[in-house]
Amino acid sequence: MRLFLTTALCTLALPALAVEKTEVVAHYADIGLATYSDALTTAQALQQAVAALVATPSEATLQAARDAWKAARVPYQQSEAFRFGNPVVDDWEGRVNSWPLDEGLIDYVEAGSALNEENAQAGLNVIATPKFVLSGAEVDATTITPDLIATRLHEAEGIEANVASGYHAVEFMLWGQDLNGTGPGAGARPWTDFSATDCTGGNCDRRAAYLVAATQLLVDDLTEMVGNWGPEGAARKVVTDDPTKGVMAILTGMGSLSYGELGGERMKLGLLLNDPEEEQDCFSDNTQNSHYYDGIGIRNVYTGAYTRVDGTVLQGPALADLVQAADPAVDAELRAKLDASVAALGAVKARAESGMAYDQMIEAGNAEGEALIMGAVDALVDQTKTIERAVTALGLDQIAFEGSDSLDNPDAIFQ
């Protein structure tokens, strides 16, 4: 209660705001709806390309499916700014974007590569194995369905590395393992892996069935999330029911993605481990784009502007307006830092496009690659500091404590 009062009083102390929090969180939710809707339509385009691939496997149809997958990543990665701070999104996210994966669970891999001392199923190979035992119970995978993937295979035996669904499972189906280490080149799965007449890799019918089912599941999951951002959607309500908490959710999403997730887990750690599998889109060598659009997404939710896949721009009342009214210097600083991180992530993307793939950048001793990645990491860490300043400027720094059990009953521990 005391903390709640602190928040209320600090908030009252702010000058009158031109833009209201209610408008900001409503527009934020509109951007959420637009971003997930774009993720859905591009996933549906991927689904069509996958249908064409399995109907008439060829170099051209495989390439078209790969291109569609890459296009689908563009809006999805921008949606990641909506994840942290909103449990409706965060609890769902594992179904669609889990990584890294023990891909040997799904399909054939190079001998000796399906090793994970904590995962007995790292080499299960569902595509080659219609019946198997998981957690002591027999699983009949004779027919590969979205339900089988979602309820039996994904995170099988409670192990996160058993990723059976989502973008990265589909990515593995389309590219296969990248066996080039930190050298040039992505995964090179041949189109004949899906061919009924010239089948390579064995079980081409089951491989095609898996790809079709996993893509269907991705479309289903995205459809569900679009609904969550609709007029009465649960994710929208999280941010609009209490606009103050909604504003905090926007900032939490920005800060957690910038620092702990993108800057830390995805970029810095990969660099420190020098392991080629430590890049997020490791089969397709598309990591530079996924990171770049994360950066764009963080900026979108601050400036209240989102450029849709069809080129139209959604613009409206923004968190930036609230910060500007509370402390113009913090707003200017944050805008500059968001631009700087997008530029630094853009430099990584540009260098990847000019011939140095992301997994080459993280090779031990690659000074140029290290400088590029650390440039982006530093920019992301730096902007997180200013995001914290924005939290303080808006008087929200005590918000997170509400709802803590110990707050009302600190003696509970000794009972």
Partner 1 sequence: MRAILFCLLASPALADIPEAVQDHILPGYAAFARASDSLAAVGKTCDVRALQADFHLTYDAWMAVQHLHLGPGEDAGRALSVLYWPDPKGMGAKAQKALLAGDPAKLAPEAFAQQSVAARGLLALERLIWPADTLPADPCPLIAATTADLARVAHEIDTGWQDYARLLTTAAEPGNTAFLTRAEARQALFTQLATGLESLSDQRIGRPLGSFDAPHPDRAEARASGRSARNILLALQALRAFTATLTPDAPLTLAAFDKAIGQAQALADSDPVLDGIATPGGRLKLEILGQTVTAIRDLVLAEVAPEMDVGIGFNSADGD
Site for partner 1 in 176-195 (CB under 8 A): none
**Residue 137 binding partner 1, by CB under 8 A:** no
**Residue 143 binding partner 1, by CB under 8 A:** no
Binding mask 241-260 for partner 1 (x = CB under 8 A): --------------xx-xxx
Please say whether the beta carbons of 351 and 361 come within 8 A: yes
**Residue 5 binding partner 1, by CB under 8 A:** yes
Q: How far is the CB of 60 from partner 1 (least distance, A)?
A: 36
Nearer CB in complex with partner 1: 204/262: 262
Q: How far is the CB of 121 from partner 1 (least distance, A)?
A: 13
> Segment contacting partner 1 (CB under 8 A): 153-161, 163-171, 207-215, 305-313?
153-161
Dist CA 350 CA 355 (whole Å): 9
Tokens 């009158």 correspond to what residue?
A: 16
**Residue 283 binding partner 1, by CB under 8 A:** no
**Residue 210 binding partner 1, by CB under 8 A:** no
Q: How far is the CB of 178 from partner 1 (least distance, A)?
A: 16
Out of 16, 142, 355, 414, name the contact with partner 1 by CB under 8 A: 414
Tokens 């942290």 correspond to what residue?
A: 84
Residue by residue, what is the 3-state secondary structure of the chain? CHHHHHHHHHHHHCCCCCCCHHHHHHHHHHHHHHHHHHHHHHHHHHHHHHHHHHHCCCHHHHHHHHHHHHHHHHHHHHHHHHCCCCHHHHHHHHHHHCCCCCHHHCCCCCCCCCCCCCCCCCCCCHHHCCEEEECCEEEECCCCCHHHHHHHHCCHHHCCCCCCCCHHHHHHHHHCCCCCCCCCCCCCCCHHHHCCCCCCCCCHHHHHHHHHHHHHHHHHHHHHHHHHCCCCCHHHHHHHCCHHHHHHHHHHHHHHHHHHHHHHHHHHHHHHHCCCCCCCCCCCCCHHHHHHHHHHHHHHHHHCEEECCCCCEEECCCHHHHHHHHCHHHHHHHHHHHHHHHHHHHHHHHHHHCCCCHHHHCCCCCHHHHHHHHHHHHHHHHHHHHHHHHHHHCCCCCHHHCCCHHHHCHHHHHC
Residues that bind partner 1 (rule: CB under 8 A) add up to a total of 57
**Residue 266 binding partner 1, by CB under 8 A:** yes
Q: How far is the CB of 196 from partner 1 (least distance, A)?
A: 35
Nearer CB in complex with partner 1: 133/407: 407
Q: How far is the CB of 387 from partner 1 (least distance, A)?
A: 7
Out of 55, 188, 343, 364, name the contact with partner 1 by CB under 8 A: 364
Dist CA 162 CA 147 (whole Å): 16
Binding mask 377-406 for partner 1 (x = CB under 8 A): -------xx-xxx-xx---xxxxxx--xxx
Nearer CB in complex with partner 1: 243/264: 264
**Residue 336 binding partner 1, by CB under 8 A:** no
Nearer CB in complex with partner 1: 18/272: 272
Out of 155, 224, 265, 339, name the contact with partner 1 by CB under 8 A: 265
Out of 15, 231, 311, 365, name the contact with partner 1 by CB under 8 A: 365
Nearer CB in complex with partner 1: 68/301: 301
Residues that bind partner 1 in the complex, under the rule CB under 8 A: 2-3, 5-6, 9-10, 13, 84, 115-119, 157-158, 161, 255-256, 258-262, 264-266, 268-269, 271-275, 364-365, 384-385, 387-389, 391-392, 396-401, 404-407, 410-414
